[in-house]
Chains A and B, each alone.
Chain A
Amino acid sequence: MAEVTASMAAPLEKALKAGAPQLGVERILSIERFTSGLSSQSYGVDAETAEGPIRWVMRVEPEHGVIPPYDIAREYRLLRAVHEAGLPAPEVVHLEEDPSVVGGRFILMSFVEGVIFRSMDPRLQEDPELLATMQQQFVQMLARIHATPQKVLPSYSTGEEAARGEVAICRRRLLETELLPSPILRHALDVLDTHAPPAQRICLLHGDYRLPNLMWKDAVISGVLDWELARVGDPLSDLAFTQTIGRGPCSIEGELATRYTELTGIEVDERLMPYYRLLEMVKGTVIGLAGAYDLAHGGTDLRLLSVARIAASGQAIMGGLEKQLEEYLEA
């Protein structure tokens, strides 16, 4: 156990014995920090329990990050709701409200067995059959998410408010974190505000639906992870995310978009997609650029320097997306 995580073991063991006796923790064996994840820091926790050895994942609410304000309790409630609805989200087993135990409030959840495929994974390039199977799984799982009822996240009474609400959130985040004026983002936000379309349906959105957030076992999705950007809105938002910020071998477009429509009855209106692609690019860029703000205000994860840079790169295609949107509006 690395020194930094070893110091967490004793207080964690004590807190779980006192606050979560149902888990039957006898001893924390090891804590391993995961490198992935940008906001909440995640750890693999191995424990000896009355039932035998077990492995959990612990997600700790960060003090700093790119999408504040953080609320791990909200994530706990949402994960419980989607798990109970039958989605393969990790099963949450404990919410620790005392931030002093490991340096932030945390949730403990089941460890999902499986492997993660990165967007550039060579296995996908070498095995077209595997890729085709995974693409189908990818679409089917998003269709299931969009059909999932939940009462944790606030809903919108009309579809019109959903897109405009997202733009307002982006604008507020930009206002709070913009270190230097961003003329491209400001202009794109004005365009999005002016042309916000009504949603054809309002549903649960994952918000960060991409390959690295899925666990796979025998080419079947065994876990859907990282729900911290989940919200309620137009499903086209999630589709547009797979075509932009989350772009990869499973982007839902063409035949995969047709399959999505077959599964959900939701039309993927190509005239509306430029709007949602622009919205997703703006959202992702604002979140990424907040990394620079975070570092200037006490953040210590130096990866954020590169995240802010790659986010800024997203601005290069916003002009083109605005043009596509204008062409649709004129047509």
Chain B
Amino acid sequence: MIVLDSAQILTTVKLSLETHVLPALSDDFARVQVLSALKALAEVSDRLENGDPADRSNLRIESGVRELADSIRSASPGFAEELDAALRAEPAGGAPRDRSRQLGEALWKVYVENEGDAAERLLEILQAEALRTMNEDNVWMCPEAIASLT
């Protein structure tokens, strides 16, 4: 329906599920599927409003790695160049997750092929971003889904 924007369509679907589907369901498994779907719709709505979280994550990693490369350039020019090359490389596709995959693999390769403080600092950057992303992502967890399993 071209006259509605994506956010409006998502909101309508969400309201329909809450109003017409959930109250009619007596099957617990089906109910928890709908509750999980509502959380997923909310996550997609947030992406429409605030952009793809993978994009933000990539930017934070790039910034941290660039800072690391600059700080070690005089002491470890070879290592700094490897970091630069990983940042310069372009992913096969243009989506944020393509960049996440390419950047993650390239930087992990730099980490495992090097030793010392700079390599450990690189690992810290990657791990800290993974934890941060995980924390932000948890807001979309469906408690009923977890409760059905624990």
- List A residues at the B interface (Cβ < 8 Å): 2, 4, 33-38, 118-119, 179-184, 186-187, 212, 301-303, 305-307, 309-310, 312-313, 315-316, 319
Contacts and interface: CB of A to CB of B under 8 A. Distances in A.
A303 B150 contact: no
B148 A36 contact: yes
A187 B20 CA distance: 47
Contact of B33 (A303, A310, A315): A303
B131 interface: yes
Nearest to A180: B100
Contacts of B39: 305-306
B137 A33 contact: no
B9 interface: no
The 3 A-B residue pairs whose C-beta atoms are closest, nearest first, are: A181-B104, A302-B36, A303-B145
B37 interface: yes
Nearest to A246: B150
B142 A305 contact: yes
Contacts of A312: 134, 137
Interface string B87-107: 000000000010011001100
B134 A306 contact: no
B40 interface: yes
Contacts of A184: 127, 130-131
A2 B27 contact: yes
B75 interface: no
B141 A306 contact: yes
Contacts of A186: 108
B28 interface: yes
Contacts of B26: 2
A306 B100 CA distance: 21
Interface of B: 26-29, 32-33, 36-37, 39-40, 54, 97, 100-101, 104-105, 108, 111, 123, 126-127, 130-131, 134-135, 137-138, 140-143, 145-150
Contacts, number: 94
A212 B150 contact: yes
Given A35-B28, A180-B104, 13 more contacts: A33-B29, A35-B32, A36-B149, A180-B97, A181-B104, A183-B111, A186-B108, A302-B36, A302-B145, A305-B142, A306-B39, A309-B141, A310-B138
Q: Secondary structure of the B side of the interface?
A: helix
B117 to A, nearest CB: 16
A259 B127 CA distance: 38
B130 A306 contact: no
B12 to A, nearest CB: 19
Contact of B134 (A36, A118, A313): A313
The winner among A37, A180, A186 for most chain B CB atoms within 10 A is A180
Given A35-B29, A316-B131, A303 B137 contact: no
A181 B99 CA distance: 11
Contacts of B145: 302-303, 305-307
A33 B33 CA distance: 13
Nearest to A247: B150
A319 B130 CA distance: 12
A305 B148 CA distance: 13
Contacts of A313: 134, 138
Contacts of B105: 181
Contacts of A181: 100-101, 104-105, 108
Contacts of A35: 28-29, 32, 148
Contacts of A306: 36, 39, 141-143, 145-146
A329 to B, nearest CB: 17
Contacts of B123: 183, 187
B138 A315 contact: no
A34 B29 CA distance: 7
A9 to B, nearest CB: 16
A286 B135 CA distance: 17
The winner among A33, A119, A184, A212 for most chain B CB atoms within 10 A is A184
Contacts of A36: 148-149
Nearest to A41: B29
A307 B149 contact: yes
A42 to B, nearest CB: 10
